Amino acid sequence: MSAESFVVGVGMTPFGRMKERSFESIGQEAVLKALKDAGIERHQVDEVFCGSALTGRSMGQRVLRDIGMTGMPITNVENACSSGSTALRDACTAVAAGRAETILVLGIDQLSRLGGGTIPQLESDFDPNLGMVMPALYAMRARRYMHERGATSEHLARVAVKAHEAGKHNPYAQYRNDITVEEVLASRMIADPLTLMMCCPTGDGAAAAVVTTRKRAQALGRPLIRVAATALQSGVFKTGFRDMVQSELTMRTAKLAYETAGIGPEDVNLAEIHDAFAIAELMYYEALGFCEPGGGPALLDSGATRINGAKCVNPSGGLLCRGHPVGATGIAQLCEAVWQLRGEAGARQVEGARVALTHCTGGGVAGLDHGSCAINVLVAG
């Protein structure tokens, strides 16, 4: 990129079910917090990118209208679970192009308005007509992963326990409680082997960030958090065999992110990864290079991915505990990364964090690993 991008302000709503609130007010709360954190006025925003996946159209305009942020270019971005991260990438591209100096990025969704249950899939593919639901897609991955890697349901349960162990300290998390392996295993079966507590909750929320140039970041006097990579890839279509244990899409996106940032997986102090279902965390440990292929269960067992471990994963609680209002997730991950790199994460602070990675992937499209995968690298200083 020709110009570097820096995150100078972040803010988010607590995640949870907020059916009584309008999505506009949820989004406005996040936006106003991010502007305040950046120390800028609303009229200083040159351009806006808004990521959302399920709630509606023209989300950016609908959120910003009533706080008088109108007139500037607003681009609404839909890219399934990667919508928020894709919006961040677009913002950095606009900075790099020299087109805008100060950009607002918003991620938002309100799933409680959709009713309960699993997220509806588009029926133009055969799969949803035959009974495919997202939890079951991950359950099938889990079944194969357990077969090939020797992982057990207890490993899956321990991923959820670890998520809550960190997330209970996160004031923005949908759940703030400790859970036990026994409780996770005894919770209602959703899609074997995944029980309810191995699945992320549906919920509502918004997260926002202000992205700008190095010069303006320095002028604002905020801690310098550099966006060192915003890698985005889409799933590759296969008509035949696909390895559903090793995520080719996440591996490919991670390679691009590491190359762009000039780092390797060993340099990452903390990662916010897309644990929509507990099995995903084990798969993505491997795909992100935090361990060798096959090493997922052992890495979890080692404790290295807990808050005080050498490779902390999901200090926010991840999707399993913080929650997953789809379009908001990528920016919520960004918020966590920024707070961690500034040393502002309180009881869930990863000591000495300098490099953070955020990872989103999703979008059920038949024949693809996932619709998209987005990986960002954030570096302090």
Partner 1 sequence: MQDTKQTESAPPKVPEYFPVDRPWEESGGLTHLVGMRCSACGTKAFPARGVCSHCCAQSGMEPVRLSARGTLYNYSEVHVAPKDFPTPYVIGFVDLEDGVRVFGQIEGPASALKPDQTVETTTGIVRVRANGTPVISYKFRGVPS
Interacting residue ranges for partner 1, rule: CB under 8 A = 117-118, 120, 126-133, 135-136, 139-144, 147, 188-194, 237-242, 244, 366
Closer Cβ to partner 1, 14 or 362, answer by number = 362
Residue with tokens 């995968």: 373
Distance of closest approach, residue 139 Cβ to partner 1, in angstroms: 4
Listed in sequence order, the DSSP H helices in 130-263 are 134-149, 153-167, 181-186, 214-220, 248-261
CB environment 267-281: b (16+ within 10 A), e (fewer): ebbbbbbbbbbbbbb
Cα distances (angstroms) measured from residue 379 to each of 142, 215, 320, 368: 33, 17, 25, 31
Distance of closest approach, residue 369 Cβ to partner 1, in angstroms: 12
Per the structure block, which two tokens stand in for 24? Answer: 């506009």
81 assigned to active site: yes
Closer Cβ to partner 1, 96 or 368, answer by number = 368
Per the structure block, which two tokens stand in for 221? Answer: 């006097």
**Strand (E) or helix (H) holding 329:** helix 329-342
Residue 82 half-sphere exposure toward CB, CA atoms < 13 A: 27
Distance of closest approach, residue 243 Cβ to partner 1, in angstroms: 9
Closer Cβ to partner 1, 140 or 263, answer by number = 140
Name the active-site residue from 81, 321, 335, 373.
81
Burial of 308 from C-beta contacts in 10 A (0-12 / 13-18 / 19+): exposed
Distance of closest approach, residue 208 Cβ to partner 1, in angstroms: 32
Closer Cβ to partner 1, 125 or 165, answer by number = 125
Q: Which residues contact 329 (CB under 8 A, 6 or more apart)?
A: 81, 84, 107, 274, 319, 360
CA-to-CA distance for 344 and 155, rounded, in angstroms?
31
Closer Cβ to partner 1, 140 or 298, answer by number = 140
Kindly list the catalytic residues.
Answer: 81
